[in-house]
Structure 1
Amino acid sequence: MTTHHSTPGPPLAPWEPQGPPRRSRTAVRALLAVVLVLALTALGLYVAKAGPFARPGADGPDPAAAAQARGFLADWSHDRLDAAGARTTHPAEASRILGSFTSGLEITRPRLSAGVPREAEGGAVEVPFTARMPVKGLGTWTYTSRMPLRQAKDGDGGRWLVDWKPGLVHPRLSGVAKFRLDREDTSEPKAKDRHGKPLTSAAAPSLAPVLAQLGDGGAGPRGAIRLVDRTSGEVLRTEARFGAKEATDKVAETTLDSTWQTAAEHALAAEPEDRNASLVALRGDTGEILAVANSPATGFNRAVSGTYAPGSTFKLVTSSALLMKGVVRPDTVVDCPKQLVVGKEFHNVETSFFPDATFRKDFTESCNTAFISLRDKLAPTALGDVAREYYGIGQEWHIGVPSYDGSVPAPKDETEKAASMIGQARLQANPLIMASVTATATTGRFRMPHLVPNPKDTTKTTPLPAQVTTDLRTLMRATVTEGTAHILSDLPGEIGGKTGTAEVSDDAPNNGWMVARRGNVAIACVVEGGVTGSGSAGPILHELLSRVPGDGE
């Protein structure tokens, strides 16, 4: 008898209750298919009724009605009144009333935002909206209203139209009541210059917006929007009031100098073609502003709040970056060709060119192509870094009135980098900024410009290297004696300057710029549509400097 031996296996695990037998793979697949069908059905219901592609007539108003309401508000806010009227049941009346409402109340640009639409009686849709109406020189009037919409008859394609009635513009506007803007006469703030002389807009018209912004000692603008009877003119109620400031005897102290301010007014008035122009003059050693002037004198204070491409006047900053990095010295040869292509064609004013030019020649003749040819020597952020760290551009300035403090963004591509080298692309400045740049370049240190004594100063900057300041002063002086700022060469004193021509668009004339420095005073001027800096801003600075022999001490 044969005996069989088997290899012992692992010990048995303790006994556990066993679950139901496994389902077959076919059963599992069938169950998953059922779940998938149910999920798709639920998704279809969401899409049809509540999702982003909900069909008209599903839960909620027809999206086409809401789109028409938003289009009406967009046209109204952008002053496309005929287009807004065309979206209504009474186009001519709607466009007429919208126009008389905004112009009669001196509303500069409505800001209108739609709320959540809802279904109304008879198949209509109602869209609430908030209106924010900036009233010129006073403030913003804010209110809410509702816009009804109805679906047009089949003959008009069944599209939704705004069911026009005056009350949708404002709930109280009707055939018997309208709105009226009443302005109150206010006194001008009292102010004095650095020597204690009174400052008034009567003597210096450009100071009207400046004095209003200083605000001390005067009554701010006041007014009211009133609902009145269309027939009798009787005031039914006051809808909004603006301004509550009462006049005081306080006199605002400023850093302005009456002599410089008067000279600036005369210089701008001498501009022969009556183009918009602005200038700022300030002391280089302190940043104190001596004159702020605009032509026309009333309205927007472009000299300190405007936004312009600075053109070739910005080459002061570009040159600082190149000199600090050791890319060039004034006698370095940097060829100045007639044109250069970097994504687009760049050329010089009047397509001039100077073969084998030195950097000094490139600067004094404002050669765009030479500066652009050096773009690879600087990092993409170099100009913005130098502008901010050494010139304070883009930091927050507290000059005593609202101001725009400049922007030098990093270029998006090589074409923008090339344009930035010559003060174009998305660079933005104004005469305040460029007067400060001129002062910094020629003194070596940024001092925050200011109109009032002892301003709050949160800026942090680094002084320019002494050699860079020396080079910049030499280059600016050469631009007057032998370059594009030659118009100033017959004036006494060691005047330095830099011209600029800034492109605006393909179908608009260039803006003309010039900056100058004489003694302790730095000046910047821009002329809108001036074509060239030497031909437009140059005569203004010549007139200004010839009227004021001193240097702002």
Structure 2
Amino acid sequence: MDSLAEYTSTGPRNRRPRRTAVRAVTAGAVVLAVAAGGAYAAGLGPFARDTGPDPAAGKQARAFLADWAAGRLPSAAARTTSPGAAGRVLDSFTAGLEITEPALKAEAEAATEAADGTVTVPFTARMPVAGLGTWTYESKLPLRQQSDGTWKVAWKLSVVHPRLSGTEKFRLEREETKPPEVIDRQGTALSGDELPSLAPLMARLGGNGTDSGARGAIHLVDRATGDVERTEARFGARTVRDKGPVRTTLHAGWQSAAEQALATHAEGKNAALVALRIDDGEILAVANSPASGFNRALSGTYAPGSTWKIVTSSALLLKDAVKPDDVVDCPQYLTVGKRFQNVELSEHPGATFHKDFTESCNTAFISLRDRLYDGELRDVARKYFGVGQEWHVGAPTYDGSVPAPKDETEKAASMIGQGRVQANPLLMASVTATAVSGTFHQPSLTDGNEDTTATTPLPRRVVTRLRAMLRATVTDGTANVLADLPGEIGAKTGTAEVSDAQDNNGWLVAHRGNVAVACVVEEGVTGGGSAGPIVYSLLAAASGDPE
């Protein structure tokens, strides 16, 4: 019952007349996060308040960025005043610079409207350059109202980047270097040829003074002469201090099993998986499908869907706002500004909170939102699970975000891991490990990483209840795909909405022995159906606790 299957606006807004003075939207506006891998939140609250620019302009800006980030370039181009030119530039810009899955964030609170009616929406672009790193810059979307009343992006080259012009362009230059030798926790050499998910990761390992591997730069060059006018971004270390092998926390057996699980069961979809040790956070396996390009497992930004109910449950149990045996009704629908529903319109009248968890009832969890203050999920996630703190793992990571909700609708969405809650498999594997042990351990991929996190252990009574509900989700609930595996496995499924144009992402987190696992499958529809077989395959192949 993970899916947030209907999460759309309750009705159109009346378009307001153009403004004649420049105004900045001061607060309460939507921030659109288009995640690597396509995860984003849309339509959450107003784009602007009554004193700001026409909300229809903001809606078009968000739609343009969403299409661009998701690779729907013809659709993005059609939202501009010059579709032909825009389509050619958007296609050549990302391809020529080897950019994979851009992440675009519109800063709607800074939108302005000029005297001529043009609305300008600033945005931040995070462009992952294959095998090198992320190029981050800021630009602006100018939007103009057309004669038919619609808004379109006023196309010019600077829409893509403020320095892109008819006389200057960007060029990617790589400096090929030999990646460092990498060994696993037992001293076994790891090969990117045999374990393809490790090939792009090996060049990014740090913390022990070795060469980072691949190096390169993005230059602004003269279109006519090719001369470099300035360097926009540089990637990779310039010096080598130690030629010794990089010792990792990885386990060759678990890594191989993870790679095989994705190769066999991802069915051509983008997917990612992380396995780590519960007692110390050491990462045993990091796998991505496809193996090359963006590291979804460590740096992806996804709505975690119902796997986030582990954190929501913790917040409720910490303050005794609900007990497992309390009756918390599970109706088909619940309207909080927008209509929320359960997958296939399922319902469980008179269900206990324990059953709501095992059946992943969205409406039941949303009905409990008033028992948490507005920023409580953020505070619990940070204090007990380390979410949103800066992690030093030994490779680049995204460490999660749980913004305080702007309104009741967004608060309802955050209860079930939607809205602006952002995570990835690394973070959700860590959340699972913390939930079942009670103690957060900063994940690590290499030795000797700085740890600046500060967390508080979960009370034992909360851990006991979480473990019982996770176990029941396998024996009697939505994660029964794992039920016939040996060991006392606990798990939670998740299904996270992305957009009207894309199928839901599928999630599954699990723990057995001293290992916690998290897997996401983009457009996997359901967690049990897509991520379930992958996690099953991993746990079936990699038995026992790795030393």
**TM-score with structure 2 length normalisation?**
0.69
Counterpart of 1:541 in 2: which secondary structure?
Answer: helix
Counterpart of 1:419 in 2: which secondary structure?
Answer: helix
Q: Does 1:426 align with 2:417?
A: no
1:200-251 per-residue CA deviation (whole Å, 9 max, x = no partner) reads: 2112111123211115345432479798999xxxx98676786673666221
Q: Does 1:245 align with 2:225?
A: no
Per the TM alignment, residue 185 of structure 1 is displaced from its structure 2 partner at its CA by 3.3
Counterpart of 1:198 in 2: which secondary structure?
Answer: coil
Q: State the match for 2:37 in structure 1.
A: none
CA contact (8 A) 1:499 1:534 kept: yes
CA contact (8 A) 1:180 1:228 kept: no
Q: Does 1:371 align with 2:362?
A: no
Runs of 4+ in 1 over 3 A off after TM superposition: 77-87, 94-109, 132-142, 168-173, 178-185, 222-230, 235-248
Alignment coverage as a number of residue pairs: 427
* Partner AA of 2:199 in structure 1: A
CA contact (8 A) 1:224 1:238 kept: no
Per the TM alignment, residue 343 of structure 1 is displaced from its structure 2 partner at its CA by 1.3
Rounded Cα–Cα distance in structure 1 between residues aligned with 2:485 and 2:237: 50
Q: State the match for 1:191 in structure 2.
A: 182
Q: State the match for 1:294 in structure 2.
A: 288
Shift of the 188–240 alpha-carbon distance from structure 1 to 2, 3 Å rule, reads farther
1:434-456 per-residue CA deviation (whole Å, 9 max, x = no partner) reads: 10110010001111111112321
Rounded Cα–Cα distance in structure 2 between residues aligned with 1:374 and 1:328: 9
Counterpart of 1:437 in 2: which secondary structure?
Answer: helix
Q: Does 1:383 align with 2:374?
A: no
1:289-319 per-residue CA deviation (whole Å, 9 max, x = no partner) reads: 1111110011111111111111111111111
List aligned pairs for 1:32-431, cutoff 5 A.
103-104=95-96, 106=98, 136-137=129-130, 183-215=174-206, 216-217=210-211, 219-222=213-216, 245=238, 249-431=243-425
1:58-100 per-residue CA deviation (whole Å, 9 max, x = no partner) reads: xxxxxxxxxxxxxxxx99x99888999969xxx98x9979976
* Partner AA of 2:363 in structure 1: T
Counterpart of 1:304 in 2: which secondary structure?
Answer: helix
CA contact (8 A) 1:278 1:294 kept: yes
1:363-398 per-residue CA deviation (whole Å, 9 max, x = no partner) reads: 111111111111112211221111111111111111
Give unpaired runs (5+ residues) of structure 1: 1-50, 53-73, 112-131, 143-160, 163-167
Shift of the 220–97 alpha-carbon distance from structure 1 to 2, 3 Å rule, reads closer
Per the TM alignment, residue 179 of structure 1 is displaced from its structure 2 partner at its CA by 9.2
CA contact (8 A) 1:217 1:251 kept: no
Counterpart of 2:265 in 1: which secondary structure?
Answer: coil
Give unpaired runs (5+ residues) of structure 2: 1-20, 23-63, 105-124, 137-154, 157-162
Per the TM alignment, residue 461 of structure 1 is displaced from its structure 2 partner at its CA by 0.9
* Partner AA of 2:269 in structure 1: R
CA contact (8 A) 2:164 2:170 kept: no
Counterpart of 1:345 in 2: which secondary structure?
Answer: strand
* Partner AA of 1:280 in structure 2: V
CA contact (8 A) 1:312 1:366 kept: yes
CA contact (8 A) 2:386 2:440 kept: yes
Point out the structure with the larger helix share: 1
Rounded Cα–Cα distance in structure 2 between residues aligned with 1:548 and 1:141: 37
CA contact (8 A) 1:141 1:240 kept: no
* Partner AA of 1:302 in structure 2: R
Q: State the match for 1:479 in structure 2.
A: 473
Counterpart of 2:495 in 1: which secondary structure?
Answer: strand
Q: State the match for 1:542 in structure 2.
A: 536
CA contact (8 A) 1:501 1:511 kept: yes
Q: Higher relative CO (CA 8 A, sep ≥ 6), structure 1 or 2?
A: 2
Shift of the 244–171 alpha-carbon distance from structure 1 to 2, 3 Å rule, reads farther
1:153-206 per-residue CA deviation (whole Å, 9 max, x = no partner) reads: xxxxxxxx99xxxxx977987xxxx99765443212221111111122112111
Rounded Cα–Cα distance in structure 2 between residues aligned with 1:454 and 1:379: 38
Counterpart of 1:543 in 2: which secondary structure?
Answer: helix
Greater CA deviation, 316-325 or 488-497? Answer: 316-325
CA contact (8 A) 2:439 2:456 kept: yes
* Partner AA of 1:337 in structure 2: P
Rounded Cα–Cα distance in structure 1 between residues aligned with 2:126 and 2:379: 39
Q: Does 1:456 align with 2:450?
A: yes
Larger Rg: 1
**TM-score with structure 1 length normalisation?**
0.69
Query: How large is the RMSD of aligned CA atoms in angstroms?
Result: 3.8
Percentage of matched positions with identical amino acids: 60
Shift of the 105–465 alpha-carbon distance from structure 1 to 2, 3 Å rule, reads closer
Rounded Cα–Cα distance in structure 2 between residues aligned with 1:373 and 1:135: 39
Shift of the 102–440 alpha-carbon distance from structure 1 to 2, 3 Å rule, reads closer
